[in-house]
């Protein structure tokens, strides 16, 4: 994964994280990394997401310092620094997705129903259906599942692996990673800021 002892020491030094330096990249270490990205103390959602990240990242090949750093920087941007797991907006806002065939939104109401959820803002009937096919998670009939920390992490890991984003992370190509996640370069400055803050990862 990464050098947990050095990372824990760095987090204690720059963020007063109060971590036990035990060399284990467990839930507490991941929660502290999420808090570091948002420049805050550890919040309840960080604890839940930290446990899921510790359990899942390695099995999806997100298991080197540079891969974890890019993954957390991108997910930080998509979740307002790990404070929300559902895209913010009202009914009028979600109309922007209505009828978007590129997102697979072919039925009335799909725009709001399949708005962005999870760590990487899974959006559109097509992407929910793809996730369901890859995981057998019934998120087409129950899209709200991606608002639960464990499934939010799962969705992000599956998408990351499916799009082979690790290769772009290995090349330290933050623009390439951003395009793979976002389809463009929206929020690039924020993603770069989070990436820099996560330089504690070693």
Domain ranges of the chain: 4-85+164-200, 91-145
- Measured CA to CA, the distance from residue 35 to residue 198 in angstroms comes to 10
- Asked if 128 and 140 touch (Cβ cutoff 8 Å), the reply is yes
Give the per-residue pLDDT at 127: 97
91-145 classified as CATH 3.40.50? no
Q: Residue 90, Cβ neighbours under 10 Å: how many?
A: 8
Structure confidence at residue 193 as a pLDDT band (50, 70, 90): very high
- pTM equals 0.97
| Residue 154 CB contacts under 8 Å (≥ 6 apart), including other chains | 52, 56, 135, 137
Angle value at C-alpha 150, between 149 and 155, nearest 5 degrees: 95
- Measured CA to CA, the distance from residue 38 to residue 35 in angstroms comes to 5
**pLDDT, tens digit, for every residue of 98-122?**
999 999 999 999 999 999 999 999 9
Give the per-residue pLDDT at 47: 97
**pLDDT, tens digit, for every residue of 71-91?**
999 999 999 999 999 999 998
**pLDDT, tens digit, for every residue of 30-56?**
999 999 999 999 999 999 999 999 999
**Percentage helix, strand, coil, to 5, in the chain?**
60, 0, 35
How much of the chain, in percent, has pLDDT values that exceed 70?
100
């Amino acid at each position: 994964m990464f050098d947990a002892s050095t990372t824990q020491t760095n987090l204690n030094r720059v963020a007063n994280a109060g971590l036990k330096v035990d060399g284990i990249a467990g839930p507490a270490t991941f929660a502290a990394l999420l808090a570091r990205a948002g420049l805050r103390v550890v919040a309840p959602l960080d604890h839940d997401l930290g446990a899921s990240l510790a359990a899942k990242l390695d099995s999806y090949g997100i298991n080197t310092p540079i891969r974890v750093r890019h993954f957390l920087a991108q997910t930080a941007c998509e979740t307002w620094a790990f404070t929300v797991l559902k895209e913010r907006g009202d009914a009028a806002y979600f109309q922007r997705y209505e009828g978007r065939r590129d997102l697979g939104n072919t039925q009335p109401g799909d725009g709001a129903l399949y708005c962005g959820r999870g760590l990487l803002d899974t959006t559109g009937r097509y992407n929910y259906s793809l996730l369901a096919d890859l995981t057998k998670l019934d998120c087409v009939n129950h899209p709200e599942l991606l608002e639960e920390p464990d499934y939010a992490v799962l969705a992000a890991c599956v998408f990351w692996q499916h799009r082979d984003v690790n290769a772009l992370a290995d090349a330290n190509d933050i623009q390439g990673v951003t395009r793979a996640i976002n389809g463009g370069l929206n929020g690039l400055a924020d993603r770069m800021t989070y990436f820099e803050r996560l330089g504690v990862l070693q």
